[in-house]
Amino acid sequence: MTKNKILIIDDEEDIRLTLEELLVRTGYQIQGAGDGIEGLKLLETFKPELVITDLKMPNMSGSEFISKAKNLVPSVDVILMTGYGDKEIVIECLRQGLFDYFDKPFNYQKMVLSVKKCFELRKIKKELSDEKNFTENILNNLHEIVIAIDNQGKISYINSVTINLLGFKAEELIGQSLLLLIPDYDSFNAVAESKESIEQDLLCAVKGGGEKIPMTLIVADFIDNAGLKKGKVLVGRDVRELRKLQLLTYQTEKLASVGTLAAGIAHELNSPLAVVLGYATEIQKIIKESDYNPQKNEDVISYLGMIHKSATRMKVIVSNLLTLSRKSEHTDPHELNINELIKEAFAFHKTSFEEKNIDVGFFLSESLYKSWGDPDQIQTIFMNLLGNSADAFGEITDEREKRVSFTTSNEVLMEEGVAKPVLKIIYEDNACGMSESTVKKLFDPFFTTKSVGKGTGLGMSVTLAAIKAHKGTVSVESELGKGVKFTIHLPAVTE
């Protein structure tokens, strides 16, 4: 067993050696020093737990030594040997945490008893602190939020998991009302006044305001050993990740059920819709070319325009639902001429673009690679982009020249050291653009900023799904008020 270490400092060698001999015999490990300077050095090298020091010594007084020693090693204990008339200094030293003092000449046996008492107390203190550390470690390793409040709702304990999570310092929270962390009165009252264990979803404040963290808390009464109610203990969990997962599951389930339903309905609707669109276009053409009753014809043309617009909208919804329900299975993949698909998609929107005076530019590479996949899905991508721009131009009030454009080109991307030919499609508009938060949610299923009947929020999520199903990528840049730019890459078929 390792022996407890004691340092004895006294310039009177007789006393030092007698004490040393006695304490060695009692079972301690001892080192001696003739003054405070030597004593401080030994404090660092010998690392004693207890120092017995004389008050009056050359070079450094005992009281100066105590204050320096406590600064260096706050846990060290000190017993002081004093002479006659040193009472005031002793009182000062007691304030600094002196363990005991003896007037010279002292009874050696009493000194040994005091030393024993000192080590017994140190042992108890260490056990208590180990126990506290053990409990503290359990509370922190749980990775749960643990807060205790007193009967007035003031925080009496908070574990470091919670402190780190919320960004406060412990001293900023201890003694403060729990309202600081749960600023919503209803939630605070539900916690503070609960009669039994409750489970509560609430938002916890983070230092500096701003974001609040959703958490689930279980609240229980905090009863001490004497059976007295001391307050409440709150144990909880940060549920941000769980909420995200729940939302994702909900959306996936919703998508799956929409997909199944859509497959049947959308397919049935598609053919009659094509007929309505086709004939509306044809009749428009015939009436434009005839010269019979121009006034009446204009009305008919405008009504047909409306039929056309609504049918186009339905066509986009049906295409989205079909793409969604088919997911990534291509039952019948084709070689794709992307330039043609762009033009075909635009044909559906032509009438509404003309009506809104939106210019369209096609900068299509004549030698564009072919791609491979489902032409309907790819056409759906372009129809969604165009439909969104048409809506976005409706949001601007200034007199700008409205413009959208498609630019296609061939590119070679390096993927893990292998050159991969791809088609690059850039789509741009100069309409209302998007805020940063809209861009973040753009591809989320069911995200829309449009009113009911104007947008399902499926367009961009279907677009992303279709691009991914074709092993392509899409990125978007946008600035509020300035328009959007989509860059799409699709793999090329080269031979």
Which residues of this protein are in contact with Mg ion, per CB under 5 A?
388, 459
Q: Which of 57, 191, 432, 466 binds ligand ATP (CB under 6 A)?
A: 432
Minimum Å distance from CB 409 to ligand ATP?
Answer: 21
C-alpha span between 82 and 73 (Å, rounded): 22
Minimum Å distance from CB 284 to ligand ATP?
Answer: 24
Q: Which of Mg ion, ligand ATP, none does 352 bind, CB closer than 5 to 8 A by kind? A: none
Can residue 5 be called a binding residue for ligand ATP (CB under 6 A)?
Answer: no
Can residue 346 be called a binding residue for ligand ATP (CB under 6 A)?
Answer: no
C-alpha span between 103 and 244 (Å, rounded): 71
- Position 463, amino acid: T
Can residue 448 be called a binding residue for ligand ATP (CB under 6 A)?
Answer: yes
Can residue 434 be called a binding residue for ligand ATP (CB under 6 A)?
Answer: yes
Can residue 19 be called a binding residue for ligand ATP (CB under 6 A)?
Answer: no
Can residue 255 be called a binding residue for ligand ATP (CB under 6 A)?
Answer: no
Q: Which of Mg ion, ligand ATP, none does 472 bind, CB closer than 5 to 8 A by kind? A: none
By beta-carbon proximity to ligand ATP, the closer residue of 102 and 446 is: 446
By beta-carbon proximity to ligand ATP, the closer residue of 234 and 465 is: 465
By beta-carbon proximity to Mg ion, the closer residue of 278 and 394 is: 394
Q: Which of ligand ATP, Mg ion, none does 280 bind, CB closer than 5 to 8 A by kind? A: none
By beta-carbon proximity to ligand ATP, the closer residue of 32 and 483 is: 483
C-alpha span between 76 and 43 (Å, rounded): 9
Minimum Å distance from CB 394 to ligand ATP?
Answer: 10
C-alpha span between 100 and 77 (Å, rounded): 9
Asked if the bond preceding 74 is cis, omega within 30° of 0, the reply is: no
Tell me how many residues contact ligand ATP (CB under 6 A). Answer: 23
C-alpha span between 208 and 296 (Å, rounded): 67
Please, is 495 exposed, middle or buried when counting C-beta atoms within 10 Å of its C-beta (0-12, 13-18, 19+)? exposed
Can residue 458 be called a binding residue for ligand ATP (CB under 6 A)?
Answer: yes
Binding residues among 161-220 for ligand ATP as defined by CB under 6 A: none
Tokens read off for 42:
């030994």
Q: Which of ligand ATP, Mg ion, none does 55 bind, CB closer than 5 to 8 A by kind? A: none
Minimum Å distance from CB 210 to ligand ATP?
Answer: 25
Owner of token pair 């009056």: 56
Minimum Å distance from CB 442 to ligand ATP?
Answer: 5
Binding residues among 305-334 for ligand ATP as defined by CB under 6 A: none
By beta-carbon proximity to ligand ATP, the closer residue of 188 and 486 is: 486
Query: Terminal CA-to-CA distance of the chain, rounded, Å?
Result: 82
Task: Sketch the per residue contact string, 381 through 420, with ligand ATP: x for CB under 6 A, - otherwise.
Answer: ---x---xx--x----------------------------
Binding residues among 466-485 for ligand ATP as defined by CB under 6 A: 484
Which of 311, 324, 321, 319 is closest to 273 using CA atoms? Answer: 311
Can residue 61 be called a binding residue for ligand ATP (CB under 6 A)?
Answer: no
Binding site for ligand ATP (CB under 6 A): 384, 388-389, 392, 429, 431-434, 438, 442, 447-450, 455-461, 484
